[in-house]
Amino acid sequence: MGPDKNLSSDPPAYPPPRTIRLTLEYDGSAYHGWQRQSNASSIQEVLENCLHRLTGQEVRLHGSGRTDAGVHALGQVAHLVTQAALPLGAFREGLNSLLPREIAVLEAREAPPTFHARYDARAKTYEYRILNRPVPSPLHRHRCWWLAKPLDPGRLQQATAFIVGEHDFSSFQASGGSVKSAVRNVMAAHWEERPGGWRYFRITANGFLRGMVRALVGTLVEVGWGKRVPADLKGILAARDRRLAGPTAPAAGLYLVEVIYDTALTL
């Protein structure tokens, strides 16, 4: 009798690994930031738990960067590597059916195997929202910084011009940062006035230090109130001393708007 042709010593075939890129929107009010914590709920933890339910596999999700407790995102990017043979659309529709209403997957797409959401990011854009009117907003209390005292828009714009370009932003770095260099290139920064007392500060840079945007906003607000002159920003940058800058603006007003990658990283 010959060998049983139904028997084989070959290992079972598994689907090849896939790199899936997710674009996310979330309200960070109830979460302790992006990164998984041992004693508090985070955006990463919630997403990884839902991915496990969706794929049946343990999944590690890598974000483009951390957002602090209470900070929001309009376009956070993350990636995962999985062997799940799910249709691409299932990563959006399936996850959104499992996620709490504070988190949503805007887009899911295939990415090159080498893609990394954090290390391949070329730039990011953040937005900070201030409600500058006499009366606070009950509807937006977790999504902005309410300031009753009027801000001078001209002084805000003049001061903001000093932070554009490549500088050492040590004066605007929160304690606990572990980066080797505090030099960052701010490609664009400006203020926008909107109806109803809204003021939006938008900034794009090749990278951000811990607490950098919120420290910048807190300092610029002092300029807008006349406590500092616009040119003070130049001296604060040169000093590389956090004690000389203004207060840290509340997390509630900060939004990660966009993460920018080379077009070659898109399949």
Buried b (16+ CB within 10 A) or exposed e, 72-109: bbbbbbbbbebebebeeeebbebbeeebeeebebeebe
Greatest CA separation found in the chain?
A: 97
Residue 265 token pair: 């990283």
Query: 25 near 76, Cβ under 8 Å?
Result: yes
Distance of alpha carbon 86 from alpha carbon 90, whole angstroms: 6
Query: Any catalytic annotation for residue 68?
Result: yes
User: Among the options 4, 10, 27, 68, which is catalytic?
Assistant: 68
Distance between CA atoms of residues 78 and 169, nearest Å:
26
Active site residues: 68
